[in-house]
């Protein structure tokens, strides 16, 4: 084709296929079409891939294991082909932690300020996998109960924290934060779901709570799970857009998060805390907690 400049890699490209120990050039017909016979080995036997009446390939797509390395007879690939994705994760970065509580509480620590607070596996309400983590405060105003996860892998550039929560009754306040020590600087992006006052809040670099939106983070049925995600840019010190359910709050990007100078061994801590707003015990269910890096 005279007059058309093509990249160098297109000038010297040839398709070759392995035929026993030899490589052979794959040719095309005069129209540039590729005529192939697809075959594959199964138990040391060569089998041909056949077509249906319309010339379409009928394939059975499976995984040998799921996302957690467990062997499956039906995998995520087949579910994606047949049903669409079995779960919906909002994450734009590289996943460092994904918690669905199917394998217990071994990756989480629990702390509280007294009373009958607890954190336990619960099969009653869940997003997927049959289990969630039930977080309960002590009995009394401002009683809190929290879970923490520590890990040594340090996020780069942007970090994200997402989770799903549910509540069978109104609750006081959920505070979610990521604390990062990189050896020189301490980063602490955090946000709040204020159920007592129906607010979505970010903590800025003072740190002072900043109202982002008026929402209703409580439910009247534990089977209903909601979603929230915070993103923070470690290079600029600013938040990214804040997500809550189907809404994206771009105004969150106007705020810086708290940082400080430290000399400390690098590690990362995720904390989700529930604080009571009444004299009773507040309860929420947590699922699909996801920590991501390289977000922005």
Per-residue pLDDT band for 251 (boundaries 50, 70, 90) equals: very high
The domain locations on the chain are 8-83, 94-293
Helix/strand number for the chain, H first, E second = 2, 21
Which whole-number Å values give the CA distances from 147 to 11, 185, 230, 290, in the listed order? 58, 23, 17, 14
Per-residue pLDDT band for 74 (boundaries 50, 70, 90) equals: low
Per-residue pLDDT band for 1 (boundaries 50, 70, 90) equals: very low
pLDDT of 25 reads 83
Check if the beta carbon of residue 175 is closer than 8 Å to that of residue 158: no
Tell me what percent of the residues of the chain surpass a pLDDT of 90: 53
Check if the beta carbon of residue 185 is closer than 8 Å to that of residue 260: yes
Work out whether strand 242-244 and strand 247-249 pair parallel, antiparallel, or are unpaired: antiparallel
pLDDT of 295 reads 84
* Model pLDDT for residues 122-172, shown as the tens digit of each residue: 999 998 778 999 999 999 999 999 999 999 877 778 999 999 999 988 899
Q: How many C-alpha atoms does 78 have within 13 Å on its Cβ side?
A: 13
Q: Write the CATH number of the domain with boundaries 94-293.
A: 2.60.120.200
Distance CA 112, CA 282 (A): 13
Which whole-number Å values give the CA distances from 5 to 32, 169, 192, 290, in the listed order? 19, 67, 56, 47
Distance CA 191, CA 178 (A): 10
Place of tokens 């006052």: 197
Check if the beta carbon of residue 28 is closer than 8 Å to that of residue 34: yes
Q: Is the model's pLDDT at 119 over the cut of 90?
A: yes
Q: Where in 142-225 does DSSP place strands (E)?
A: 144-151, 158-166, 173-181, 185-188, 190-194, 199-203, 209-214
Q: Measured in Å, how far apart are the chain's first and last C-alpha atoms?
A: 42
């Amino acid at each position: 084709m005279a007059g058309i400049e093509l990249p160098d890699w297109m000038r010297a490209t040839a398709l070759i296929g392995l035929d026993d120990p030899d490589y052979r050039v794959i040719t095309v017909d005069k129209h540039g079409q590729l005529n192939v016979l697809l075959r594959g080995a199964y138990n040391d036997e060569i089998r041909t891939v056949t077509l249906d009446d319309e010339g379409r390939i009928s394939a059975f797509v499976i995984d040998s294991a799921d996302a957690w390395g467990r062997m499956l007879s039906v995998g995520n690939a087949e579910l994606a082909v047949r049903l669409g994705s079995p779960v919906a994760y909002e994450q734009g970065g590289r996943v460092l932690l994904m918690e669905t509580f199917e394998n217990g509480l071994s990756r989480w620590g629990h702390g509280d300020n007294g009373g009958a607070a607890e954190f336990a596996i619960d099969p009653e309400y869940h997003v997927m996998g049959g289990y969630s983590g039930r977080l309960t405060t002590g009995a009394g105003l401002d009683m809190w109960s929290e879970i923490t996860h520590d890990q040594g892998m340090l996020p780069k550039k942007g970090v994200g924290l997402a989770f799903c929560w549910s509540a069978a009754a109104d609750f006081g306040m959920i505070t979610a934060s990521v604390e990062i020590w990189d050896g020189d600087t301490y980063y602490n992006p955090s946000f709040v779901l204020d159920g007592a006052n129906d607010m979505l809040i970010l903590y800025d670099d003072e740190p002072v709570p900043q109202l982002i939106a008026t929402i209703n983070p409580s439910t009247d049925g534990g089977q209903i799970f909601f979603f929230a995600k915070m993103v923070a840019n470690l290079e600029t010190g600013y938040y990214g857009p804040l997500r809550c359910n189907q809404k994206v709050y771009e105004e969150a990007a106007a705020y810086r998060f708290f940082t400080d100078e430290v000399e400390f061994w690098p590690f990362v801590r995720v904390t989700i805390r529930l604080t009571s707003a009444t004299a009773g015990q507040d309860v929420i269910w947590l699922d699909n907690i996801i920590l991501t890096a390289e977000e922005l």
